[in-house]
Chain A
């Protein structure tokens, strides 16, 4: 069974710092990996989706990398801002069948960017 782990569970940084969030998964047989952002009282917003054949994706100050062989992904946030404060979740879509083929989520990293 696919398991997704995100460490640390919480992170606090001063504004302007570059930071890296980590995601690891146990089964490298995946279709894609996604990073989501969750704000309090809100649903999840997709940030980046990396297909299994890709190594990275970029959107603005965000860059996500994928290393399938080692079962790892990182989300790099450049020049962090207080508005980046949120919980960041990664999720993988396994190559499998039935319900196991659906997204498996990590428990998230709660990021606080201090002014």
Chain B
């Protein structure tokens, strides 16, 4: 089984809909991250969390919200989806030191019509 699992893997929805992307991990890591990837661009950080009580905005947090339900679960919500949020979304985890490589899920491909 994958260490970092993202659901759903693919989603097509309409403008204005509320969407939740979920991430769960079995690595026992404290730190979790949400990124988005657009064609021709690198990954950009949306939100990150260092533990259940710690949530931080990343570079591009506008239009998104997150919830850290447990150490192993970190969800990303789009309250009212818009077409320019169409992208590939990745969840990642890392250990407490933050000095070791992050471990990534396989991504969620989100299309907003």
Residue numbers of A with Cβ under 8 A of B are 4, 9, 31-32, 34, 36, 41-46, 49, 51, 89, 91, 93, 98-99, 102-108
Q: Can you sample 19 A-B contacts with CB below 8 Å?
A: A4-B42, A9-B40, A31-B99, A42-B106, A43-B104, A44-B43, A46-B101, A51-B99, A89-B43, A91-B43, A98-B56, A99-B56, A99-B57, A103-B45, A103-B102, A105-B42, A107-B40, A107-B42, A108-B42
* Inter-subunit contact B59/A99 (CB<8 Å): yes
**How far, in whole Å, are A107 and B82 apart by their CA atoms in the complex?**
23
Cβ of A25 to closest chain B Cβ, rounded Å: 12
Residue numbers of B with Cβ under 8 A of A are 4, 33, 40-45, 48, 56-59, 90, 92, 98-107
CB neighbours of B58 from chain A (8 A): 99, 102
* Inter-subunit contact B40/A43 (CB<8 Å): no
Cβ of B111 to closest chain A Cβ, rounded Å: 15
Given the known interface contacts A9-B40, A99-B58, the answer about A42 and B99 at a Cβ–Cβ threshold of 8 Å is: no
CB neighbours of A106 from chain B (8 A): 42
Cβ of B59 to closest chain A Cβ, rounded Å: 6
CB neighbours of A34 from chain B (8 A): 101
- Taking A42-B107, A44-B104 as known contacts, 13 extra A-B pairs with beta carbons closer than 8 A to each other, sorted by chain A number, are A4-B42, A31-B99, A41-B106, A42-B106, A43-B4, A43-B104, A43-B105, A44-B43, A91-B43, A99-B59, A102-B45, A102-B58, A107-B42
CB neighbours of B44 from chain A (8 A): 105
CB neighbours of B101 from chain A (8 A): 34, 36, 46, 49
